[in-house]
Amino acid sequence: MIDVLRRNLGVKLLSFLVAILFWLFVMNQGSADKIISDQTLTVPLVVTNLPQNMVVMSQLPLISVRFQGINPSANIKDIYAQVDLSGATAGEHSYSVIINAPVGTTVVDRQPASIKLTLDNVQEKILPVQVAMSGNPADGFQVGTPIVKPSAVNVRGPSSVVSNLNKVTAEVSIAGANDTVEVSPAVSFRDKAGKPILGPNPSVDILSAYPSSVDVIVPITAKGMSTKMISLKVKTTGTVAQGKVLKSVIASPTSVQVSGSAQALKGFDSLTIGPVDLSGLTEDKTFQIPPDQVTLPSGVSFLNGTTISVIAQIGAGPIQKTITGVPVDIRNVGKDLQVDQGISPVDVVVEGLPDVVNNLTPTQIQLWVDASGQAEGSYPNTQLLWQLPPGVTMITTPQVTYSLKAKA
């Protein structure tokens, strides 16, 4: 048995050593995200507690960290560097780099130990949208004036950038177009040289817009045709339901673009649509007006994609309310006279729309009698004069009694 064990002993020992090395290799391959002690790692840097009204205008570097006595169960993913921006102010300042590492892991050194960051205040600004068209329409066609909805957006970003912006851009291609182009591109931001505005990290936007996209209509018409923007007016019939009032009736949009020959468009500045029947309406209603049912002058047409509607806003009708305890003045009493019998506060009935009348108080109503030229004596059944807030009317005319006497 001993001879059997000794046979090829060198080969057997070598095989055993190879097996151990292979096992260590496999174990190491299976824990690639583990860190081993006494080594240097490059970790990402993040910022924390950045004030909501501020933005970082510097590229965040990677941080080189040297460790000793690393926790064997530590994971590389749990290690990162951070900068605390609590209470930070605008401008360039130095901040300490803090290493976040698992318990039991010792940080020996970090490079850099501090960094300079530039912070800027966030600013908002309303900016117009400018259409940037590329390409040319098909042969025999021409481009009209583009329409943008909305025509302006709210831009938010670093004040150093936003303060120098005077517009945003909506990019539209009209290459080969032979009909009106309707698109909804995202707005983009470009500097005065037309180059895209990028932040310290090109992959992260530093500017945002609300809304982030706009609707653009680019009229494409046959050559020799013209386009023109005309206003819309609304014709109505019928009356709203009893107890209701028509607050407003408007076309949406309030103006549209039409095309035609220059002669056909001459003097054509507005268009009346309808009639829209309001009979019996008790609440707001939107009426869709098919463009093909609108009569246009000969040789004039709507652009493709035109939509028209009429919005009728209905409100509660006038109500009546009794206002109690309204004081009454006696004005213009003669120099030699004085009031003998004053006038007690009275109740009045007024009428108006609910949002006005329901909030009406006695102090908002002025009541008085005019004693100009009156002699000493009693004046029964005298009609009052009044002044009421706008939109309020007096339903009844109160009568009062007062008397004057000579001054003692």
| pLDDT (tens place) for every residue of the chain, 408 residues total | 445 445 555 545 545 554 554 444 444 444 445 555 577 888 889 999 999 889 999 989 999 988 876 666 667 777 889 999 998 999 999 999 998 887 777 888 889 999 999 999 999 999 999 999 999 999 999 998 898 989 999 999 999 999 999 999 999 999 999 988 989 999 999 988 888 988 887 777 889 999 999 999 898 888 888 888 999 999 999 999 988 889 899 999 999 989 898 899 999 999 999 999 999 999 999 999 999 899 999 999 998 888 999 999 998 889 999 999 999 999 999 999 999 988 999 999 999 988 899 999 999 999 999 999 999 999 999 999 999 999 899 998 889 999 999 987
Cβ atoms of residues 377 and 340 within 8 Å: no
Element (H or E) spanning 80, and its range? strand 80-84
Residue 357's CB is within 10 A of a number of other CB atoms, namely 19
Which tens digit of pLDDT belongs to each residue from 159-198?
999 999 999 999 999 999 998 898 999 999 998 888 898 8
User: 321: which residues sit within 8 A by CB, 6+ positions away?
Assistant: 349, 350, 351, 357, 358, 360
Q: What span, in angstroms and rounded, lies between the C-alpha atoms of 230 and 299?
A: 15
pTM over 0.85? The answer is no
Q: How far is CA 110 from CA 39, 54, 313, 398, in A?
A: 12, 27, 67, 90
Q: What span, in angstroms and rounded, lies between the C-alpha atoms of 214 and 148?
A: 7
Q: What span, in angstroms and rounded, lies between the C-alpha atoms of 367 and 326?
A: 7
The CB-based long-range contact list for 358-363 (8 Å cut-off, 24+ gap) reads 358/319, 358/321, 360/321, 360/323, 360/389, 360/392, 361/323, 362/323, 362/324, 362/325, 362/326, 362/327
Q: What span, in angstroms and rounded, lies between the C-alpha atoms of 122 and 55?
A: 7
Give the per-residue pLDDT at 24: 46
Give the per-residue pLDDT at 104: 73
Give the per-residue pLDDT at 35: 56
Give the per-residue pLDDT at 224: 84
Q: Is 61 exposed, middle or buried (0-12, 13-18, 19+ CB in 10 A)?
A: middle
What single-letter DSSP state applies at residue 137? Answer: P
Nearest residue to 161 via CA among 194, 205, 123: 123
Give the chain's count of helices (H) and strands (E): 5, 34
Give the per-residue pLDDT at 251: 94
Give the per-residue pLDDT at 348: 94
Q: What span, in angstroms and rounded, lies between the C-alpha atoms of 366 and 353?
A: 19
In the structure encoding, which two tokens stand for residue 339, read together? 């009031």
Give the per-residue pLDDT at 12: 52
**DSSP-derived secondary structure for 28-44:** HHTTTTB--SSEEEEE-
Give the per-residue pLDDT at 275: 93
Give the per-residue pLDDT at 305: 80
Nearest residue to 302 via CA among 340, 268, 326, 279: 268
Q: What span, in angstroms and rounded, lies between the C-alpha atoms of 270 and 255?
A: 8
**DSSP-derived secondary structure for 331-372:** E---TTEEEEE----EEEEEEE-HHHHTT--GGG-EEEEE-T
Q: Which amino acid is at 171?
A: E
Task: Give the HSE-up count for residue 382: Cα atoms under 13 Å, Cβ half-sphere.
Answer: 21
Full set of structural domains in the chain with CATH = 39-112 (2.170.120.30), 122-222 (2.170.120.40), 226-316 (2.170.120.40), 319-406 (2.170.120.30)
